Amino acid sequence: MNRLQNKIAVVTGSATGIGKATVELFSKEGATVLCADVNTEELDKTVEELNKDGGNVKPFQLDVSNEDSVTRFANQVKEEYGTIDVLFNNAGVDQEGGKVHEYPVELFDRIISVDLRGTFLTSKYLIPLMLDHGGSIINTSSMSGRAADLDRSGYNAAKGGITNFTKAMAIDYARQGIRVNSISPGTIETPLIDKLAGSKDEEMGQKFRDANKWVTPMGRLGRPDEMAKVALFLASDDSSYVTGEDITADGGIMAYTWPGKMLIDKEWKEETE
């Protein structure tokens, strides 16, 4: 406990899912958490809920893809707090778009703008608040940044960019005491998954989850709180000699080359039911 005592942490995309779970955990560990999201309705619900439980969470509306929005946010943080210790660039979007020759340009631009450009903008304008004393930056990448998915080339490009952008920042700021790492989640039970694949209560959503159960060696989807714990490790002094790394937390999916025997082994599939 208290691994982030007296720290100021910024978490983007914090209204739901991994972001919300991370805000909750960071707050329990003693941080003042600046909770930033474009969805103000969900953001206000999250902040009210966590503060009722004794958290120290402050809401900020932020569109990470918009430079003016990011600079206003950075100026407000500087004016009110003067500094930050942790930046968790978690905001992101995802959507299938078809094969590359069919892929809508506007969808590709949107995903790159929010996921990759948003990570760049928030880092660019908030890093100056860390330069005097160091800190930790965590970027949400994805296992989809390490390998590819059918019909999701825009997301693959954005997340692959984040993984390498993380390494570039780690080199840039190591001598200033700023550590930069990324997390590559697998398939996590979040509202985004409900939107992309259907909820647990929908037939397509259940089929999606069943398929992920057998293709994932651990036999289940991940939970937001499990990703939050990885973020806490990277935010805290427990990872004081870790920078430029990407931690994959996917239940073992990236550990194998292709499903192979898993496709025909009835026992393997039944073990996940």
pLDDT digits (tens, 9 = 90+) for 9-42: 999 999 999 999 999 999 999 999 999 999 999 9
- Which residue range forms the structural domain that includes residue 44? 8-190+222-258
Decide: 135 and 84 in contact? Cβ < 8 Å: yes
Active-site pick, 81, 103, 125, 155: 155
Residue 155 among the catalytic residues: yes
Strand partners, 58: 34
Examine the pLDDT at 273 and tell me if it is beyond 80.
Answer: no
What are the residues whose beta carbons fall under 8 Å from the beta carbon of 78, sequence distance 6 or more? 129
Mean pLDDT of the chain: 94
Q: Which residue has the higher pLDDT, 84 or 55?
A: 84
Interaxial angle between packed helices 17-28 and 40-52, expressed in degrees from 0 to 180 and rounded to the nearest 10: 30
Residue 173 lies in a domain: yes
Residue 217 lies in a domain: no
Q: What is the pTM of this model?
A: 0.94
How many CB atoms are closer than 10 A to CB 218? 13
**Helix (H) or strand (E) run with residue 32 in it:** strand 32-37
Residue 166 lies in a domain: yes
Residue 2 lies in a domain: no
Q: CATH code at 179?
A: 3.40.50.720
Residue 231 lies in a domain: yes
Residue 52 lies in a domain: yes
Domain count, the chain: 1
Examine the pLDDT at 47 and tell me if it is beyond 70.
Answer: yes
Residue 250 lies in a domain: yes
What are the residues whose beta carbons fall under 8 Å from the beta carbon of 72, sequence distance 6 or more? none
Decide: 83 and 129 in contact? Cβ < 8 Å: yes
Residue 123 lies in a domain: yes
